[in-house]
Amino acid sequence: MSSEEAIPDFWSVVPAGGSGTRLWPLSRRSAPKFLQDLTGSGRSLLQDTAARLTPLSQDRLVVVTGILHADAVREQLPELAEDRLLVEPSPRDSMPAIALAAATIERIDPDAVLGSFAADHVIGQPETFRRCVREAVQVARAGALVTLGIQPSYPSTGFGYIEVGGPWRVDGAPSAHRVDTFVEKPDRATAERYLAGGRHRWNAGIFVVRAAVLLEMLGTWHPDLVEGARLIAAEPRRIQDVWPSMTKIAIDHAVAEPAAAAGKVAVIPGDFPWDDVGDFASLATLLEESGDHPGLRILGPRDQVISQDSSGVVAAHAGRTVVTLGVPDVVVIDTVDALLVTTRERVQDVKGIVETLQRIGREDLT
């Protein structure tokens, strides 16, 4: 048996949402980061995500996206069957989306195990990633909610953490452990303590669980969401009536945190490179240094960038020549209708620029 054989009862769920405002002007409401090739791979993050999962779930892939992006998703994933694309009439955070996917999958295969993976994260070493998912599936079949915990590489204050407990004994999942708690984004000192202590891992928002188990757990705390999801799964055209009344909540708060408190959540340590591409500094680490321009990372056509004594990130996405001269740690994002010039230090504040644009009536640029 090849280690890369598909898992017959495993389904991939990809919630494709989030606008990535800290990646403006690359990422827009109309073209969020999951639709974009941010790494120069030649494929969008969504396409990379789907390709990474195909060896595990083949065509058992369900994508949940907003009405604004449904056509773009169809275009980027032409093999996706129409009934595997779930279109949200409005954004209601991750739980309703995943619940709807679970109810839809449960009708096709009542014993299915699903794994939910964001459409806009970057994952290296896909074989290692899939080996972790295989272990997670073993644990999920036995009734647990399973997450993958990413080995922290620095004391990030931008991610939530998973506090890892004792071993979780299931055949075929030697590295499974109990999740003691999920913790919110910590302050710097706490993050440093987590990193030093070795008991905390980054929460990448990856969950593997039997569809029926997820709905059962959810039913304990949010029965309305289960009822709504099953109604829509049975009669998809009812989504217009039912969806707006569904509770807007993230899966972490709706299920993962209370389930962890009840001792029902396991974690598989994920030691593959993972990045949520949250801002341009994060994006920079994913790009190779330009051979001609040491210290500079280039996104988009390299022959359009001329650089002297500069470091940072340059994206030449407007077909124009971009010259940087003597600017260290700069971020230059050149698009057809908007140009951003900032520094690596200020990338978190790009979100505020998007808010400013909305406030001054330039939503057209967001």
Smallest distance from a copy of itself to CB 333, Å? 9
Smallest distance from a copy of itself to CB 20, Å? 16
Tell me how far the alpha carbon of residue 59 is from its chain's centroid: 20
Smallest distance from a copy of itself to CB 159, Å? 23
Q: What are phi and psi of 331, to 5 degrees?
A: -125, 115
**Nearer Cβ to a copy of itself (156/342):** 342
Q: Are strands 200-210 and 161-167 parallel, antiparallel or unpaired?
A: antiparallel
Distance CA 213, CA 264 (A): 11
Residues ≥6 apart with Cβ < 8 Å to 217: 145, 209, 255, 259, 264
DSSP class of residue 354 equals H
**Nearer Cβ to a copy of itself (45/338):** 338
102 close to 95: Cβ distance less than 8 angstroms? no
What the block records as the tokens of 70 is 């449904």
Which positions touch a copy of itself (CB under 8 A)?
A: 25, 306, 308-310, 318, 320-327, 330, 332, 334, 336-343, 345-346, 349-350, 352-353, 356-357, 360, 362, 365
**Measured torsion, CA atoms of residues 203, 66, 209, 205, in degrees rounded to the nearest 10:** 0
122 close to 277: Cβ distance less than 8 angstroms? yes
Distance CA 347, CA 282 (A): 9
Q: What is the DSSP string of 76-132?
A: H-TTS-GGGEEEESS---HHHHHHHHHHHHHHH-TT-EEEE--TT-EES-HHHHHHH
Smallest distance from a copy of itself to CB 355, Å? 11
**Nearer Cβ to a copy of itself (163/334):** 334
**Nearer Cβ to a copy of itself (54/343):** 343
299 pairs with which residues across the strands? 315
The residue assigned the tokens 């093999």 is 79
Rg of the chain on CA atoms, in Å:
21
Please, what is the Cα angle at 12 between 6 and 18, to 5 degrees? 150
**Nearer Cβ to a copy of itself (108/287):** 287
Smallest distance from a copy of itself to CB 281, Å? 13
Smallest distance from a copy of itself to CB 31, Å? 16
Smallest distance from a copy of itself to CB 323, Å? 5
**Nearer Cβ to a copy of itself (145/332):** 332
Smallest distance from a copy of itself to CB 358, Å? 12
**Nearer Cβ to a copy of itself (248/362):** 362
**Nearer Cβ to a copy of itself (252/334):** 334
Distance CA 149, CA 132 (A): 10
**Nearer Cβ to a copy of itself (44/335):** 335
Smallest distance from a copy of itself to CB 76, Å? 27
